């Protein structure tokens, strides 16, 4: 499948450009509570406020304003507009994403989208298959909601274009790059393989793990990621076994 604006070889590195290396990018601020772990870069632009790191951990580079975050924000806006302009293959307005099994394509919601239960994305044995979800307003997931990727589906090829704000419920397991015009909120223990990119407002985190799916970190942060990630993951697992969120 080839979308109008994207080659199937493009993936996030080409669609998002410099924003692709950011696990989290906020427009006004980024706030974290608890032991959040970001495996990727962290940035804010045009705002400069970043709080909660530490105790949160960034296995990447942090940019509080400045030209790198500015360029990433510009590239995220360009990607958002490109995703929004794609022609849908199906209108899912009013349907819950939970229990659906979807093949590659562009899916449209005229207003809000809800995920309760499990959404299955089936790439049909094509690792380059792209999934795009367009929401007129909000994206919301229920507690414990999840996404299953099957038959070579890749998190790096899943995109969520959210017209206003996105909220991931407690314990949600989510895949793909979320590009929200306003804010992104991840409730306690929600995890994301992809990116949380809020163009104009804040990203609010609470004891989350966000891992950039395939982006290559800058040379200065590569060895930090290599050595820090195993210890971070070990620490996270210990906390979970101990019953701490």
Alpha helices by DSSP H, the chain = 11-15, 66-85, 219-241
45-67, pLDDT tens digit by residue? 999 999 999 999 999 999 999 99
Whose CA is closest to 142, among 87, 96, 211? 96
68-77, pLDDT tens digit by residue? 999 999 999 9
| Maximum C-alpha span of the chain | 49
Structure tokens at 94: 């009013």
Q: Give the residue-averaged pLDDT of 8-27.
A: 80
Q: Are the C-beta atoms of residues 217 and 200 closer than 8 Å to each other? A: no
Pairing type for strands 191-198 and 22-26 reads parallel
Cut 0.85: pTM above it: no
189-225, pLDDT tens digit by residue? 999 999 999 999 999 999 999 999 764 344 333 333 3
131-186, pLDDT tens digit by residue? 999 999 999 999 999 999 999 999 999 999 999 999 999 999 999 999 999 999 99
| Residue 82 falls in which region: left (phi positive, over 0), alpha (psi -120 to 50) or beta | alpha
Binned at pLDDT 50, 70 and 90, residue 238 comes out as very low
End-to-end CA distance of the chain: 41
Q: Give the residue-averaged pLDDT of 9-14.
A: 54
Whose CA is closest to 5, among 15, 16, 20? 15
Quote the CA–CA distance of 241 and 12 in Å, as a whole number: 34
> How far is residue 36 CA from its own chain's centroid?
14
Q: Is pLDDT above 60 for 92?
A: yes
Quote the CA–CA distance of 23 and 237 in Å, as a whole number: 20
Quote the CA–CA distance of 237 and 235 in Å, as a whole number: 5
103-134, pLDDT tens digit by residue? 999 999 999 999 999 999 999 999 999 999 99
Q: Is pLDDT above 80 for 241?
A: no
| Residue 126 falls in which region: left (phi positive, over 0), alpha (psi -120 to 50) or beta | beta
Q: Is pLDDT above 50 for 9?
A: no
Whose CA is closest to 217, among 231, 227, 205? 227
pLDDT number for residue 213: 78
Question: Residue 194: beta bridge partners?
Answer: 176
Q: Are the C-beta atoms of residues 37 and 54 closer than 8 Å to each other? A: no
């Amino acid at each position: 499948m080839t979308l109008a604006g994207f080659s199937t070889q493009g993936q996030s590195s080409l669609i998002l450009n410099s924003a692709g290396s950011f696990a989290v990018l906020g427009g006004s601020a980024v706030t974290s509570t608890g032991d959040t772990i970001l495996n990727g870069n962290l940035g804010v632009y045009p705002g400069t406020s970043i709080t909660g790191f530490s105790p949160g951990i960034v296995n990447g580079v942090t940019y509080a304003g400045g030209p790198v975050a500015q360029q990433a924000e510009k590239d995220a806006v360009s990607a958002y507009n490109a995703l929004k302009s794609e022609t849908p293959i199906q209108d899912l307005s009013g349907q819950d994403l939970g229990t659906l099994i979807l093949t590659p394509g562009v899916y449209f919601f005229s207003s809000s989208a809800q995920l309760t239960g499990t959404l299955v994305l089936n790439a049909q044995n094509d690792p380059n298959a792209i999934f795009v979800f367009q929401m007129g307003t909000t994206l919301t997931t229920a507690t414990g909601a999840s996404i299953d990727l099957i038959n070579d589906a890749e998190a790096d090829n899943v995109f969520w274009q959210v017209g206003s704000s996105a909220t991931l419920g407690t314990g949600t397991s989510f895949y793909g790059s979320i590009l929200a015009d306003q804010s992104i909120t991840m409730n306690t223990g929600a995890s994301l393989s992809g990116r949380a990119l809020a163009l104009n407002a804040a990203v609010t985190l609470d004891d989350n793990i966000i891992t950039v799916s395939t982006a290559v970190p800058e040379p200065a942060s590569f060895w930090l990621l290599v050595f820090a990630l195993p210890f971070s993951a070990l620490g996270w697992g210990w906390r979970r076994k101990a019953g701490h969120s």
